[in-house]
Amino acid sequence: MFFTTIILAVREIRRHLLRSFLTVLGIVIGVAAVVTMVTLGQGATAAVAEQISSLGANILQIRPGQGFGRGGGGAQAPDFAMEDVEAIEEQIAGVRAVAPQAQASALAVRNAANWQTTINGTTTQFFTAQQWQLESGRVWNDAEEQAGKAVCVIGNTVRQNLFRNDDPIGERFRIRDVACEVIGTLSARGQGGFQDQDDVVLMPIKAVQRRFSGNRDIRFIMVAVDDAYDTASVQSQIETLLRERRSIGPGEQDNFNIFDTRQISETLQGTTRILTAVMGAVAAVSLIVGGIGIMNIMLVSVTERTREVGIRLAIGAVASEVLMQFLVEAVVLACLGGLIGLLLALVVTFFLAPVIQVPFLFDPQINLIAFSVSALIGIVFGYFPARRAAALNPIDALRHE
């Protein structure tokens, strides 16, 4: 009997295709919205995690100022000096590598090709800290580092844009008015979250300071902590050391900050997760609205189909069978709507994810949940119209125009 009811429901849906489609449109959109939001949100969370972890594991970033990023403490917070780097390296136990960094943004030019990129001045410790291998060539030696020679190691993106298929080793290109010799190329790391990690030119820090920034300041210091040591304790030792070196009295605030990348990663992931939840919740409201849409049209359709109900009752249908018929119709409709919604979400996220630059992650769980909810909506919102149909008096129903 139950199977028959489903067949009847499907027949009824097929007989009124347009009406059926309009009935479930709300569910389709609701389910698609929820699944799209959550899927893209999860992709964004993963992208953030990926980007942070691409900075390296157990990495501390030290910057002047108090906030996250450059601002915060303002202009009075001085940059670091090479002596600070050396002090950390010599006095703190558990430090695997310390890499100072001075950055500049500049246009790199070679023959007709040019490319806007980031010039990152650092020491060879950078490669150790980042555990970044070379694809070809070599890194600069101590003599070149001390002299601040214009030699560079270039990322894969820069290589492709400036040199196409040529071998860049030994070649020169121009950054501002500096002719720079390529001595090495970095292995490709790819898209690290929202930013291309391979879009970089690495040079001895002295070269960048002298030729591009015009001072000896260090914008930030990257410290790689040995796996055997506790990152938090290393962090607090560095803080004590730097407070001393920067003459900060007791009770005064730090005019620099130290970020543990893992901590940032957790914070950011927490934030994107909350954002995902909020977007999902907003979309869920539209799903409820879709459910009310089903109820609305089912109620109208009960009125419209009063005579049909009368015929069924006269022929000998009992109330529960009529109730079942309308309920099953609502549930089958809602489930179909849910399925279409899932497909729609799949297509939308698949094509939208690359556009907003997050990875496409198919999560079966949210799909299952959204589908179950649409079935539930069918039951809940289909029940009232169904009960109304079942309660009809056969004579009145038959007389209904």
Partner 1 sequence: MANDPIIALRAVTKTYGSGATAFQALKGIDLEVATGDFVAVMGPSGSGKSTAMNILGCLDVPTGGAFLFKGVPVEQLDRDQRALLRRRYLGFVFQGFNLLARTSALENVELPLLYRGEEKSRRRETAMAALAKVGLADWWDHTPAELSGGQQQRVAIARAIVTNPDVLLADEPTGNLDTTTSYEIMELLTGLNRDAGITVLMVTHEPDMAEYARTIIHFRDGLVERVEQGAAA
Q: Give the residues lining the site for partner 1 (CB under 8 A).
A: 1, 4, 8, 11, 15, 307-308, 310-321, 394-395, 398
Q: For residue 395, give the 3-state DSSP assignment.
A: helix
Minimal CA–CA distance to 288: which of 40, 33, 42, 19?
A: 33
Q: Which is nearer to partner 1, 3 or 250 (CB)?
A: 3
Six-digit token string for 298: 């089912």
Q: Which is nearer to partner 1, 228 or 315 (CB)?
A: 315
Closest approach of partner 1 to the CB of residue 272, in Å = 51
Q: Which is nearer to partner 1, 8 or 81 (CB)?
A: 8
Closest approach of partner 1 to the CB of residue 7, in Å = 9
Closest approach of partner 1 to the CB of residue 329, in Å = 14
**Cα–Cα distance between 108 and 204 in angstroms, integer?**
17
Q: Which is nearer to partner 1, 90 or 401 (CB)?
A: 401
Q: Torsions phi, psi of 285, nearest 5? A: -60, -40
Closest approach of partner 1 to the CB of residue 388, in Å = 15
Q: Which is nearer to partner 1, 8 or 352 (CB)?
A: 8
**Cα–Cα distance between 320 and 391 in angstroms, integer?**
9
Whole-Å CA distances, 311 to 308, 371, 396: 5, 34, 11
Q: Which is nearer to partner 1, 293 or 310 (CB)?
A: 310
Question: Facing residues of 61 across strands?
Answer: 222, 259
Q: Which is nearer to partner 1, 15 or 253 (CB)?
A: 15
Closest approach of partner 1 to the CB of residue 305, in Å = 9
Closest approach of partner 1 to the CB of residue 387, in Å = 14
Minimal CA–CA distance to 377: which of 8, 38, 18, 24?
A: 24
Six-digit token string for 237: 């030792």
DSSP E strand stretches across 159-239:
172-175, 178-186, 191-192, 195-196, 200-204, 220-225
**Cα–Cα distance between 204 and 137 in angstroms, integer?**
16
Closest approach of partner 1 to the CB of residue 334, in Å = 23
Closest approach of partner 1 to the CB of residue 304, in Å = 11
Q: Which is nearer to partner 1, 158 or 397 (CB)?
A: 397
Six-digit token string for 64: 């002047």
Minimal CA–CA distance to 82: which of 149, 148, 151?
A: 148
**Cα–Cα distance between 168 and 181 in angstroms, integer?**
9
